[in-house]
């Protein structure tokens, strides 16, 4: 991949940024966070998937893998663009500042973006209209399917596409033509919302680059069943004539769940995708690389072999490993795009074949320090880290480091941590941060919750828990938390500061 220098950074999803409209957005709070990263000597901002969420609000189950989450469009920036007036935002409710209440946030943002679209159609200047037209033309290959899909979902009161009329469910050409005519206004609104997201995101990405910050995006291997991707490409998935999956994705029982994780995503027909030259995958990665600099592929091991669960099974306990596309997929992507700026999420049940696939393409893997403390041979312990990896205290699926230490670590593990490090543990957060920073790994990333020293209440996601996830946010005052000084100090101490790389 494009080589990462010795560096460090922060994991924080945009929805967790501060802001007055109930959810983190791409306005002033995002730019202040980029400034904060630069001031603390960080050169990486890692994100979760950026797509539009649906039921459950998970960024790993989106309505499209190409579209952006328009709820993070900055309403204040629309005022600057002349698409809203200050008075239009005077009715902002007293949203919670420390969490996202999606049931409250989504209708408010939808209303304001619809108003902005009306104003744009009525009076936008020619420069903006030309920019919008160019965006629609350049993204037609995914945008038109997505815009129609969302318009039809709204027409059907947000019901899954498998509950629509048969002609629409099966993408009958005459039925779709009639729907495009009938839903023209709603389709244009969806195009507009996507343009706003991509326009604001590109501006933020450019600003981050000016500050020496590179973005790590996240690409889930599977896509949501109720998505434009599956609806518009049904022949590429294991689904029946009614559109329902016959087999679904997940993982067997592991650290996170004794019954495994039954994700419910439909499985790919890899033979069909291969016959098409893996074009959909190439387009997907190309689209994400317009938004970020590096891609973390979630559940990378699924490309070598994936856990197939019959759709009738209620949990992931009963399943079987099935061979994935392996090197043929990455050879096709490399032939189309060149060197791959990809990080392989190689956690879970990892076999020599998975490691070979990762290493044959030179992809860095992941080392998570929460998982390290079993015995000296544990590959997550720092003396076992290869340079070509990214080390984390924990991920979005882990507890915070403080929450992990207080609630999940037994006395045997505590004794091993103390013995391994040769010291008493007074502050587990900064102890682990130092362990990660001094690793030989190219990059070290810690969740923002750890910088702030927060406990289990600040956890972003608990796998297998259906509600209460993805809501955590920082407040403006958190950017002044003294954790920033500790972060800057150890970044310099272990030579991960950008200024130190210039002299190496």
Residues identified as active-site = 298, 345, 397
Instruction: Determine contact, residues 317/253, Cβ cutoff 8 Å.
Output: yes
Residue 158's φ and ψ, nearest 5 degrees, are 70, 15
Coil, strand or helix: which one is 264? strand
Instruction: Determine contact, residues 7/462, Cβ cutoff 8 Å.
Output: no
| Separation between Cα atoms, residue 48 and residue 396, nearest integer Å | 8
The conformational region for residue 278 under phi > 0 = left, psi -120 to 50 = alpha, else beta, is left
Beta strands, E only, 345-442: 365-368, 389-392
Looking at the DSSP bridge assignments, the partners of residue 443 are: 7, 390
| Separation between Cα atoms, residue 267 and residue 246, nearest integer Å | 9
| Separation between Cα atoms, residue 347 and residue 4, nearest integer Å | 20
Query: Residue 263: enclosing H or E segment and its boundaries?
Result: strand 261-266
Instruction: Report the relative pairing of strands 261-266 and 247-251 from DSSP bridges.
Output: antiparallel
| Separation between Cα atoms, residue 226 and residue 228, nearest integer Å | 7
- Give the closest residue to 209 by CA, choosing from 36, 38, 1: 38
Residues 275, 280, 281, 285: is their CA dihedral positive or negative? Answer: positive
Looking at the DSSP bridge assignments, the partners of residue 343 are: 296
Query: Residue 282: enclosing H or E segment and its boundaries?
Result: helix 279-289
Instruction: Determine contact, residues 79/110, Cβ cutoff 8 Å.
Output: no
Tokens of 347: 């956690």
Coil, strand or helix: which one is 382? helix
Looking at the DSSP bridge assignments, the partners of residue 245 are: 239
Tokens of 147: 């815009």
| Separation between Cα atoms, residue 431 and residue 257, nearest integer Å | 27
Classify residue 9 by its DSSP letter.
Answer: E
Instruction: Determine contact, residues 284/219, Cβ cutoff 8 Å.
Output: yes
Q: What angle do CA 494, 486, 6 make, to 5 degrees?
A: 30
Coil, strand or helix: which one is 295? strand
Q: Which pairs with CB-CB distance under 8 Å and at least 24 residues apart come from 113-116? A: 113/70, 113/73, 113/189, 113/192, 113/193, 113/196, 114/189, 115/84, 115/88, 116/78, 116/83, 116/84, 116/192, 116/196
């Amino acid at each position: 991949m494009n080589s990462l220098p010795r560096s460090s950074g922060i994991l924080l999803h945009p929805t967790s940024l501060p802001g007055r409209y109930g959810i983190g957005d791409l306005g002033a709070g995002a730019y202040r966070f980029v400034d904060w990263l630069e001031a603390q000597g960080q050169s990486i901002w890692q994100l979760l998937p950026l797509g539009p969420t649906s039921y459950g609000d998970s960024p790993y189950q989106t309505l499209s893998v190409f579209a952006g989450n328009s709820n993070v469009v900055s309403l204040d920036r629309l005022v600057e663009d002349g698409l809203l007036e200050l008075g239009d935002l005077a009715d902002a409710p007293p949203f919670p500042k420390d969490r996202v209440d999606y049931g409250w946030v989504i209708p408010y943002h939808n209303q304001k973006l619809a108003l902005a679209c009306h104003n744009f159609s009525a009076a936008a200047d020619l420069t903006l209209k030309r920019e919008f037209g160019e965006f629609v033309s350049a993204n037609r290959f995914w945008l038109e399917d997505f815009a129609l899909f969302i318009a039809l979902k709204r027409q059907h009161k947000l019901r899954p596409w498998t509950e629509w009329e048969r002609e629409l469910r099966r993408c009958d050409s005459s039925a779709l033509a009639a729907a495009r005519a009938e839903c023209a206004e709603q389709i244009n609104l969806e195009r507009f919302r996507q343009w706003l997201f991509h326009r604001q995101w590109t501006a933020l990405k450019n600003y981050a680059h000016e500050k020496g910050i590179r973005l790590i995006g996240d690409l889930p291997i599977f896509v949501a069943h109720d998505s434009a991707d599956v609806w518009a490409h049904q022949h590429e998935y294991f689904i029946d004539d009614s559109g329902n999956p016959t087999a679904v994705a997940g993982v067997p029982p592991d650290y996170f769940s004794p019954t495994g994780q039954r994700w419910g995503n439909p499985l790919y027909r890899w033979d069909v995708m291969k016959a098409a030259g893996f074009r959909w995958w190439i387009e997907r990665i190309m689209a994400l690389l317009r938004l970020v600099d590096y891609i973390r592929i979630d559940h990378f091991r699924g490309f070598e072999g994936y856990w197939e669960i019959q759709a009738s099974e209620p949990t992931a306990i009963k399943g079987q490993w099935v061979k994935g596309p392996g090197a043929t997929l990455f050879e096709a992507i490399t032939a189309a795009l060149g060197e791959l700026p990809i990080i392989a999420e190689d956690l879970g049940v990892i076999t020599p074949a998975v490691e070979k696939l990762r290493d044959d393409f030179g992809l860095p893997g992941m080392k998570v320090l929460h998982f390290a403390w079993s015995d000296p041979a544990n590959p997550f312990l720092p003396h076992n880290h290869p340079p070509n990896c990214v080390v984390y205290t924990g991920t979005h699926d882990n507890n915070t480091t403080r929450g992990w230490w207080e609630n999940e670590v037994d006395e045997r593990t505590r004794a091993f941590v103390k013995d391994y490090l040769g010291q008493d543990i007074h502050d587990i957060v900064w102890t682990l941060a130092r362990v990660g920073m001094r690793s030989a790994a190219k990059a070290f990333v810690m969740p923002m919750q750890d910088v702030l020293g927060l406990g289990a209440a600040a956890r972003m996601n608990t796998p297998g828990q259906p509600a209460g996830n993805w809501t955590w946010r920082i407040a403006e005052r958190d950017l002044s938390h003294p954790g920033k000084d500790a972060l800057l100090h150890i970044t310099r101490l272990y030579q991960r500061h950008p200024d130190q790389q210039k002299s190496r």
